Structure 1
Amino acid sequence: MASLNSSSSSSSLSSHLSSPAATSGFTTPLSSLVSIPHTLPSRVFASGAVTHALDLPPVKSYPTADVLLSVLTLYAKRVRRNFGDNEEDGTERAIPEGYVDWLTRLLGSGLSWIRAPGSSSPDDDASEELRERILDIIATRIAERSGRTGAPDMVREFDVPGLKCSVVLREPSLTADSLGLKTWGSSLVFAQLFRGPATAAKGALQFEGGERILELGSGTGLAGIVLCALGYAVTMTDLPEIVANLEDNVQTNGARLWYDDDRERAEVAVLDWTSPERSPIYGQKFKTVIFADIAYSHEQPALLSRVVPLFLDSASPKAQVVVLLPLRPAFADVRASLWTALDGIQFAPVRGGFESGWDDFGKEEYYWSIWRPRAHVDRGIEMNINTLP
């Protein structure tokens, strides 16, 4: 089996031991509790050389802290980029068969044999802290391989046409009642359809410059951030428990993409659809309201039919609502309810289209549509809602 390049791997290990993930919650730098070897252990192999957990250090061999941290660093999850079959960073190593079982055995062992450098006993404070740190990293590695709903905090990068650099988003751990903390594939598909106000792009979604856009259910902020980067002023909204992470993502990407031009372009506000009058933006009117993938329960169409008229300047002939939804078969009735709800408040679909994309859960089909107040729509261009998917 091939041996790992020691210089690059020692650098990677050193970087990992001083990273926030490795030091969070502890006062002593992890790198001071272990010795970073000039040559990594012979059991640690180059990419592709290890195909099974049997090639990893056996628990019964009592591997040292250096060996364990080397392996845990090699198989750490990298920053995710976009979605799809090849969403992982190309430098990520293939995971050996049985790797999670090996991690579980390590975790169950308690690592009682681990000693800090210079310690005469595995029971002293330094050794105990080192064990705790390594066990914490092992638990994180298990969580990383437990599917999206079991994964710890993560960072994603997204490449979107027309931007000078990628969008970087933090996603906290996903919980069933905080789905807005995940970046969904629909937001990337939506963002990839946008073009700047001065860009000639047939078939894309463009908006009038100089007018602030309202986004409902912004989540981690991908769609709204891309609009800001393209030159639009956007007010992004979501529930109180979502907004803190949204604000962080806006600040991170604003500094990368548009702060040099206009620091006031992005606004973030709490907007609970069940009590919109409590929102700090209550009373403001927008000519464009957008939202993506926020119709997944039977209560939402009715709530949206109440919120949209409150914030859309329906008296303007340029008023519009732009929607993108995934075509999940299980939610066909919710989509139909949304179309009926928008029709019931006198909005008419005037344009729409199908798109394909990916999510963490596989390939998805999507449908976007533009709705305008029926009073401003020529009957000749109004679409029949019964033909919508």
Structure 2
Amino acid sequence: MLTGETELARQNGEPINVFDLPQLYTKPSSLALLSALVSLKPKPISWEENDADHDQPREDKNAIASYLTKIVSSPLTWLTEDEQVEVWEQASIRLSERSGRNGMPAQTRTFSIPSTPPTSLAIHEPTMTNDNIGFKTWGTALILAQKVLPHIPTHLPHLFPSSLAAPSVLELGAGTGLLGLAAAALWGTEVVMTDLPAIVPNLARNMVANEGAVGEHGGSAKTDVLDWSCMTPGPEYDIVIAADPLYEPEHPICLAAAIDERLGREEGARAVVGFPLRDETTRGFGEVLKRELGGRGFEIS
């Protein structure tokens, strides 16, 4: 199979077979190798059920990793020095993309939010550096955005008394901003999205990129730096939201303090926190959070 046919097969949902790619023993041209490497660029995962690749057969990851490794380790003596460097570099990038989230390069993914009409949010995720998990969009944010936030006005009508009045909303640990931007679009309100200093620049980038999509529904967003470990007095909000915020032992205690500091004192104020029960450690973090919030006088439901 020719490289162009390999790309066409992939577009038609067929998994790539490494034996259809240019084999090094045939001394393929740099153009053939580079074209093959382009065809091996993985598509960003969208988690959307209507994604064309959602149910497609998966590629043989081990075979492709082996193919890429052979290219990187080959002297490619039949190519010029410039061609060798370019091929090695592109093969190395393809390998890094298959080395988990830490190795993946920057990408932009599009997520559909069930507003009326539906909203598409383009979320940029930089290369993960220094274990900055806030550079990645996590599944809990999408679940809350699609399955929970749309129903909040029905369950909390006192916070949405009319189309002319919307609640004030704060997002803690916003990361890439998917949840906060979804809230702004779904509820037609302003959402203040906060995170640590290293995370906020990309958060602001996503805010600007989706300003039009959110604005069509009467919503808006802005960003701010907020470190839970050193909370100071500040504005209070009707609703505080957070998705997948528990990764370290100190997080439940700090998150409880942040909610206590920023959630309004009115009886109707609410905090909506979602996190996956990945393992016993995460379950333990959740229990600590409940205990901390309960000790501060919050009712947990």
Shorter-chain TM-score tier = 0.7 to 0.9
Query: What whole-Å deviation, never above 9, does each CA across 1:193-234 have from its counterpart, x for those lacking one?
Result: 21288x7x5x69995343320110111111101011121210
What is the total number of aligned residue pairs between the two structures? 292
What CA distance in whole angstroms lies between the structure 2 residues aligned with 1:96 and 1:106? 15
Alignment partner, residue 81 of structure 1: 46
The alignment status of 1:283 with 2:231, answered yes or no, reads no
Letter of the 1:240 partner, please give it. P
Q: 1:226 aligns with which of 172, 177, 182?
A: 182
**Which stretches in structure 2 are left out of the alignment for 5+ residues?**
none
Task: Decide whether aligned partners of structure 1 residues 167 and 206 sit closer, same or farther in structure 2, where only a CA change above 3 A counts.
Answer: farther
The alignment status of 1:150 with 2:106, answered yes or no, reads no
Please tell me whether the aligned partners of residues 159 and 268 of structure 2 are also in contact (alpha carbons under 8 angstroms). no
Q: Which moved more, 1:304-313 or 1:245-254?
A: 304-313
Alignment partner, residue 62 of structure 1: 27
The alignment status of 1:173 with 2:127, answered yes or no, reads yes
Q: 2:254 aligns with which of 281, 303, 321?
A: 303
Richer in helix (by share): 2
Query: What whole-Å deviation, never above 9, does each CA across 1:252-305 have from its counterpart, x for those lacking one?
Result: 1123x1335658x2010000112233xxxx521112111121123221122123
Q: TM-score, normalised by structure 2?
A: 0.83
What CA distance in whole angstroms lies between the structure 2 residues aligned with 1:305 and 1:206? 24
Please tell me whether the aligned partners of residues 15 and 58 of structure 2 are also in contact (alpha carbons under 8 angstroms). no
Query: Cα distance, 1:241 vs. partner?
Result: 0.8
What CA distance in whole angstroms lies between the structure 1 residues aligned with 2:66 and 2:72? 10
What CA distance in whole angstroms lies between the structure 2 residues aligned with 1:70 and 1:239? 40
Letter of the 1:268 partner, please give it. T
Alignment partner, residue 275 of structure 2: 325
Q: 1:214 aligns with which of 159, 164, 170?
A: 170
Q: Secondary structure at the match of 1:269?
A: strand
Task: Decide whether aligned partners of structure 1 residues 205 and 54 sit closer, same or farther in structure 2, where only a CA change above 3 A counts.
Answer: farther
Please tell me whether the aligned partners of residues 292 and 323 of structure 1 are also in contact (alpha carbons under 8 angstroms). yes
Q: TM-score, normalised by structure 1?
A: 0.66
Letter of the 1:56 partner, please give it. L
Please tell me whether the aligned partners of residues 181 and 207 of structure 2 are also in contact (alpha carbons under 8 angstroms). yes
Letter of the 2:119 partner, please give it. C
Task: Decide whether aligned partners of structure 1 residues 212 and 204 sit closer, same or farther in structure 2, where only a CA change above 3 A counts.
Answer: closer
Alignment partner, residue 360 of structure 1: none
Letter of the 2:221 partner, please give it. A
Alignment partner, residue 250 of structure 1: 207
**Which stretches in structure 1 are left out of the alignment for 5+ residues?**
10-43, 115-121, 352-389
Letter of the 2:171 partner, please give it. E
Query: Cα distance, 1:48 vs. partner?
Result: 4.0
- Runs of 4 or more consecutive aligned structure 1 residues displaced over 3 Å after TM superposition: 1-6, 44-50, 83-97, 203-207, 259-263
The alignment status of 1:161 with 2:117, answered yes or no, reads no
Letter of the 2:97 partner, please give it. E
Q: Secondary structure at the match of 2:228?
A: coil
What CA distance in whole angstroms lies between the structure 2 residues aligned with 1:148 and 1:107? 21
Q: 2:228 aligns with which of 263, 267, 273?
A: 273
Q: Percent identity?
A: 30
Please tell me whether the aligned partners of residues 83 and 185 of structure 1 are also in contact (alpha carbons under 8 angstroms). no
What CA distance in whole angstroms lies between the structure 2 residues aligned with 1:106 and 1:91? 27
Alignment partner, residue 98 of structure 1: 63
Query: What whole-Å deviation, never above 9, does each CA across 1:139-182 have from its counterpart, x for those lacking one?
Result: 11111222233222222221221253322211122346311111
Query: What whole-Å deviation, never above 9, does each CA across 1:335-388 have from its counterpart, x for those lacking one?
Result: 111101001111112x4xxxxxxxxxxxxxxxxxxxxxxxxxxxxxxxxxxxxx
What CA distance in whole angstroms lies between the structure 2 residues aligned with 1:45 and 1:286? 47
Alignment partner, residue 91 of structure 2: 138
Please tell me whether the aligned partners of residues 196 and 232 of structure 1 are also in contact (alpha carbons under 8 angstroms). no
Letter of the 1:272 partner, please give it. D
Kindly report the root-mean-square deviation, in angstroms, between the aligned alpha carbons of the 2 structures: 3.3
Please tell me whether the aligned partners of residues 177 and 206 of structure 2 are also in contact (alpha carbons under 8 angstroms). yes
